[in-house]
Amino acid sequence: MSGHHAHRCIADGLADELHLFVYPLTRGSGPRLFTDDAAPHKLSLADSASYENGVVYLSYRPQR
């Protein structure tokens, strides 16, 4: 799912969870999951894990 579609699902209250994998590298510029004009949403951490290669998995649930 693209960042735009994920953002719309969260904004419309259609997302139950948000799963993110964070990779330890810098890319410079590029697409953002949340734009500067996006409405703020409260999320609570549901799960997390870290891996030997430095990747971190994060799972969030929207607070309703």
Dump pLDDT digits (tens) for 20-46.
999 888 777 777 777 777 778 888 999
Q: E-assigned strands of 1-64?
A: 18-22, 43-50, 56-62
Task: Answer whether residue 10 is part of any domain.
Answer: no
Q: Does the pTM exceed 0.75?
A: no
Is residue 61, in this structure, part of any structural domain at all?
A: yes
**What's the pLDDT score for residue 1?**
58
Q: In the prediction, which pLDDT does 2 show?
A: 67
- 53 belongs to a structural domain: yes
Asked whether 43 and 18 are in contact (CB, 8 A), the reply is: yes
Q: Is residue 1 part of a domain?
A: no
Are residues 38 and 8 in contact, defined by beta-carbon separation less than 8 angstroms?
no
In a domain, 11, yes or no: no
In a domain, 9, yes or no: no
What is residue 58's three-state secondary structure? Answer: strand
Q: Is 50 a residue whose pLDDT tops 90?
A: yes
For residue 62, the enclosing domain spans: 16-27+42-64
**How many distinct structural domains can be found in the chain?**
1
d(CA 24, CA 14): 29
